[in-house]
Structure formats: structure tokens, C-alpha cells
Amino acid sequence: MPFKALANIPKVNKGIRVPVPKISSNRAPFSGSATPSAMIYIACSGPQPSKKPLKKPPTLLIDSDALDNNDQINDDFKNIFSSSKTVLADFSGVKTDMHSHLIPGINDGARTIEDSIALARRMHELGYRKLITTPHIQQDYFKNTPEIILGGLEKVRTALKAENISVEIEAAAEYLLDDGFEELAARGNLLTFSGKHILVELSYFNPNPNLKTIVFNLQVDGYKVILAHPERYTYWFSSFEKYEDLKDRGVLFQMNLVSLAGFYPDPVKKYAEKFIEKGMIDLVGTDMHNMNYMAALENSLKEKSLARLIESGKLLNNML
């Protein structure tokens, strides 16, 4: 994986020493007609002159579409992006998204199969290779069952194949820890992914008073509990030890990427960054619902904290 491979590259002044890709003289990989939004700017130190150092590091302007279409330089330049610590080119370093709402018509995400196709297509373009989509299961609002979700998954899979979108897709669920969850857990018919990982969320108003017991029982049954978007539970912001206690109990934390882009009201972004600083984030997810989320997801690529998180090598996404 390019991020890990570059972990030991030494810093040169304020820039980074990076491998310089070989570009054949008769090709112009950076020409093209990309829109401004498709342009990615990176600053790098470049080769260091022995006696007359550059006053300013050169700025490289790269057309990301040309990059994607040019096999000759693709890998080398992705390495440059990944080591810039300023911007990321895409989410190829994450590889697998494990939180989204792509199955149409069964919760508050994609409404139609066309929505599902458009969202999955763009996520694939942004570097994702595998999507584990997780419709809500809630006692009051989204009474989805494994049969409903897996039936919907097959429809999406068929549609993506017909559209030649070669992204792998699986389904699990995002379980709200409400009064109905314990009954579902007792029945043992829970949707999981990658070896009994289960994605759970809490109410945005009150935590479940039985949370510790629920987590304990799930773990005894062999589940690996993932808490969705810890940065969104505002009632715990003034008692951070609640989070630390959950971490001590082996709960994995999944941050929403869109939180870093300021998608939610303050101070969610600040807390997302705090979790990153403290090394408490194990997984990142898009929580993709619609194109508004997509725009925020793309904006998150500009966040330095995200580059640092991915480069830390701590994320488990690419093992799913």
C-alpha cells in the first residue's frame, strides 16, 4: 500500500523527498481539459540543488483525470500525493468503505436504483474498491430485516454489473442500539461483515443505559463491535472518559469522513480531529446517503488530518 511504503521517506526542509516518476518526452500527461474542481495542486521540494536552493518549492499542477488515464505514471504520482501530507488524490489508500446507505428505498439513503448506481459509480471513481453498505435497522423507523437488505443488495449488484462498475459490494447493517436491538441480538440473526464485525450507532439524544451490557454480551458472542461516528454524540463531548471507557472495552471507532469536511454542525469537526489526534479512530466511513454527502466526502480529501490518519497505517479499512 503506497501510504505505508512511504512511511520512512525522510523529510527535506519543509517538503518531502519523493521518487520522481519517469515521463516519456513525447507524451504530455498533464494536458487536458479538466475543470478547476478536477485540478489537484501539490507542493513538493523536488530535487534539491546542491548550492542554490530554490526560494520557493515548485508547485505542480496535475489534471487528475489525465492521471487516472495514464498507466505509465499513475502509481508514481499517487505516491507523491500520498506523501504530500497536504492533499490526498483519492480514497485508494482506504480501499474499503464500510458504512453507507446505497440500497434503494429501504431507509434514508438512495431512493432509486439510479441513485444507487450514481453513488457507487462516483465512489469507485474516488478510489474505493469495495463497498460494504449498511442500511439502518431501527425499531421505530427502519424495520429492515436481513431478507430485505440482502434482497436489495442483489438488485444493486445486478445493476452495477449491467453498468460495468467493477466495485465489489456487500451488505450488513447499521444497528441503532434501541429497545428492539437486544431482542434482535438474542435471536442471533445479526448482519455482520468480515468476520463478525457489527456496526452500531447510538441515539443522538440519549445513550442507551444498557450500553455496557449490550457491548459485553455481543463481545461474548464473538462480535467485534464498531461504534459509528463517535464524533456525533454531543452529549458525551463534556465527558470524554465515556469514549475512553468504550475503547478500553475493545469497541472500535468509525469516524465519518464527511465530519472532517464540516458537514455537520459545530463542534463535530473539532471532535473528529480530536479523535484522530488521540489515535482513537480505527475505521473511516462515508455514511453515504446522497450527492450532498458525496460533495462533502470529496472536500474531506483536502483535510490534512485525514492525510495524517491514513498515513498513520492504523486504519483497518483495507483489511475488510
Binding stretches for Fe ion (CB under 5 A): 174, 287
29 or 104, CB closer to Fe ion? 104
63 or 287, CB closer to Fe ion? 287
286 or 305, CB closer to Fe ion? 286
174 or 231, CB closer to Fe ion? 174
Compute CA 90 distance to the chain's CA centroid, rounded to the nearest angstrom. Answer: 10
Give the 3-state secondary structure of residue 301.
coil
List C-alpha distances in Å: 308 to 109, 126, 314.
29, 18, 10
83 or 100, CB closer to Fe ion? 100
To the nearest whole angstrom, how small is the minimum distance from the Cβ of residue 287 to Fe ion? 4
The cell 472518559 sits on which residue? 241
State the residue number with the nearest CB to Fe ion: 287
To the nearest whole angstrom, how small is the minimum distance from the Cβ of residue 134 to Fe ion? 6
To the nearest whole angstrom, how small is the minimum distance from the Cβ of residue 117 to Fe ion? 20
To the nearest whole angstrom, how small is the minimum distance from the Cβ of residue 194 to Fe ion? 18
To the nearest whole angstrom, how small is the minimum distance from the Cβ of residue 71 to Fe ion? 36
Residue 26 region by backbone torsions, left for phi larger than 0, else alpha for psi between -120 and 50, else beta: alpha
To the nearest whole angstrom, how small is the minimum distance from the Cβ of residue 1 to Fe ion? 26
Query: According to the 3-state scheme, what is the secondary structure of 242-289?
Result: HHHHHHHCCCEEEEEHHHHCCCCCCCHHHHHHHHHHCCCCCEEECCEC
Give the 3-state secondary structure of residue 61.
strand
According to DSSP, the residues that pair with 133 across neighbouring strands are 171
**Cα–Cα distance between 11 and 203 in angstroms, integer?**
44
To the nearest whole angstrom, how small is the minimum distance from the Cβ of residue 52 to Fe ion? 54
174 or 303, CB closer to Fe ion? 174
170 or 174, CB closer to Fe ion? 174
Compute CA 185 distance to the chain's CA centroid, rounded to the nearest angstrom. Answer: 27
* 63 close to 75: Cβ distance less than 8 angstroms: no
- Which triple of cell numbers denotes residue 163? 453498468
Backbone angles phi, psi at 170, to 5 degrees: -130, 175
To the nearest whole angstrom, how small is the minimum distance from the Cβ of residue 262 to Fe ion? 18
97 or 287, CB closer to Fe ion? 287
Q: Strand runs (DSSP E) across 58-110, as ranges? A: 59-63, 96-97
Closest to 185 in 3D by CA, of 150, 149, 222: 222
- Give rounded-to-5 percent helix, strand, coil for the chain: 40, 15, 45
